Structure 1
Amino acid sequence: MKRPLFIALDFPTAATALAFLDQFPANQTLAVKIGMELFYAAGPTIIEAVQKRGHTVFLDLKLHDIPHTVESAMRVLGRLGVRYTTVHAAGGHVMLAAAKAGLVAGAKEAGLPAPKLLAITQLTSTDQATLNVDQQIPGTVRDSVVHLAQVAQASGCDGVICSAQEVAAIHQAVGPDFLGITPGIRPAQATADDQQRVMTPTAAAQAGSNGLVIGRPITQATDPVHAYQQLLTEWSNVNHD
């Protein structure tokens, strides 16, 4: 799964999430993102249930706290067998390094490979006004995202979550092996919903995204399986190299 397309399982209960997954062929392996809503509703049992179906789990809890708390929490998450997880880059380099240490330690205790640690840069719902006025951060969104990616790389993270609009600049700043996983993906003619910095799968692939996160265009489609296959085909048919 070099360049995954994660389906965001933004459902309120384990039952609805599993019913959604059961629409897909039993032999089809998916990459899915479990976020705060579903994890807070169902806990670690939803991860086990999804893994039993053979799917790869990206656990997106966006940890952001003092370094000791984040390290302790990541130690727990490292034991769950997930493939990716997230922390906020805004927590700073000490917190990010602590997160990585906790994640590696927890995975080692469980005899598992350590999950990839991805740092949240700026949410794809953040626009220029939000950055400058609400967050009181000067400069452009792109400058902020690239800076946070540099901090994340220097702190031992494996990649970042960013808009596809910034992924090329990130790779230019920190190198092509640092992952840029991109939410805010919408098919052409689709609504942006509450996202501000969006891109189509084709444009994201051409920009150098290492993985996509797509929720509502799949989960709220009339035929989710067909919608997923269309998006996966679009994503896969572009030369990423």
Structure 2
Amino acid sequence: MKGNTYLALDFTSWDEAEHFLKENDLHGVPVKVGMELFYREGPRIIEKLKANDHGIFLDLKLHDIPTTVMKAMKNLARLEVDMVNVHALGGSEMINRAKEGLLSGSPASHDTKLIAVTVLTSMDETALNNELKIPGSVADNATHFAGFAAENGADGVVCSVHEASRVKAACGSFFLTVTPGIRLQETDVNDQRRVATPVFAKENGADILVVGRTVTQAKDPKTAYLQVQEEWGHGSTP
């Protein structure tokens, strides 16, 4: 992986994403490509980003029957990105088969990390308990999902910063915690519930930050991106 701060390219097309990266002199920064952009542009966008030296987190949150996910992951492995993900709600067997597909499809020279999504940062305990009928706290559920993901081949999880230290304690220091919902102090939280600053993320055990609107909607996106890295660098370790 080429860095620890992935910029979410939440744009509708490659033209928009490319213009933003060029206009703000963000050549080569690690980026996250989600469903909106990938479903519009397909695998060609990965090749274009790699040609410009961007590390890539492909955020598609695969969630289907185990065999389907295994076959899909085998195809995605050929893209040779930094990270891909599945949704932990798919269960242990699905995660295990995803890892199988990733390993069988990856060139021997490349190590794509498999990341399992725990609880979306847009959700809180009320939504988890009352809408999904999943009992317990967000932290307890995120830690539970991380535990069986680790046991079935995942290299880490997507979780909020608020659960990162508990995941580390349960799964070990080398198990990656990928944390969206990162906000600079002065920016809005938008539709996410469990957000945090880069300093808090560093102090609470986050390994990899995902930043979106706090950078892309800033008046000066490059300065905002560099500020995230600066604040991360000055955080203390637990």
Shared fold (TM-score, shorter chain, > 0.5):
yes
Identity of aligned residues (%): 45
Residue 3 of structure 1 contacts residue 210 of structure 1 at CA under 8 Å; is this kept in 2? Answer: no
Structure 1 counterpart of 2:233, from 211, 231, 236 = 236
Q: CA deviation at 1:226?
A: 1.1
What does residue 17 of structure 2 align with? 17
One-letter code aligned to 1:211: I
Q: CA deviation at 1:20?
A: 1.1
Q: Does the C-alpha gap of structure 1 residues 3 and 14 become closer, same or farther in structure 2, counting only changes over 3 Å?
A: closer
Q: CA deviation at 1:24?
A: 4.3
What does residue 158 of structure 2 align with? 161
Superposed CA deviations along residues 136-176 of structure 1, whole A, max 9, x for unmatched, are 01111111000000010000000000000000011111111
Residue 121 of structure 1 contacts residue 162 of structure 1 at CA under 8 Å; is this kept in 2? Answer: yes
TM-score (norm 2): 0.96
Residue 201 of structure 1 contacts residue 235 of structure 1 at CA under 8 Å; is this kept in 2? Answer: yes
Structure 1 counterpart of 2:176, from 168, 179, 201 = 179
Tell me how large the CA RMSD over aligned residues is.
Answer: 1.4
Distance in 1, Cα, partners of 2:46 & 2:180: 21
- Runs of 4 or more, structure 1, over 6 Å off, are none
Distance in 2, Cα, partners of 1:196 & 1:97: 30
Residue 2 of structure 2 contacts residue 55 of structure 2 at CA under 8 Å; is this kept in 1? Answer: no
Matches within 5 A, 1:46-65: 46-65=45-64
Q: CA deviation at 1:2?
A: 7.3
Matches within 5 A, 1:1-241: 1=1, 4-25=4-25, 28-108=27-107, 111-240=108-237
Q: Matched residue pairs, number?
A: 238
One-letter code aligned to 2:91: G
Q: CA deviation at 1:83?
A: 0.7
Superposed CA deviations along residues 172-200 of structure 1, whole A, max 9, x for unmatched, are 11111100110011111321100001110
Q: CA deviation at 1:10?
A: 0.4
Residue 79 of structure 1 contacts residue 112 of structure 1 at CA under 8 Å; is this kept in 2? Answer: no
Distance in 2, Cα, partners of 1:186 & 1:130: 22
Q: CA deviation at 1:208?
A: 1.0
Distance in 1, Cα, partners of 2:32 & 2:25: 18
SS in structure 2 of the partner of residue 235 of structure 1: helix
Distance in 1, Cα, partners of 2:185 & 2:73: 37
SS in structure 2 of the partner of residue 123 of structure 1: coil
TM-score (norm 1): 0.95
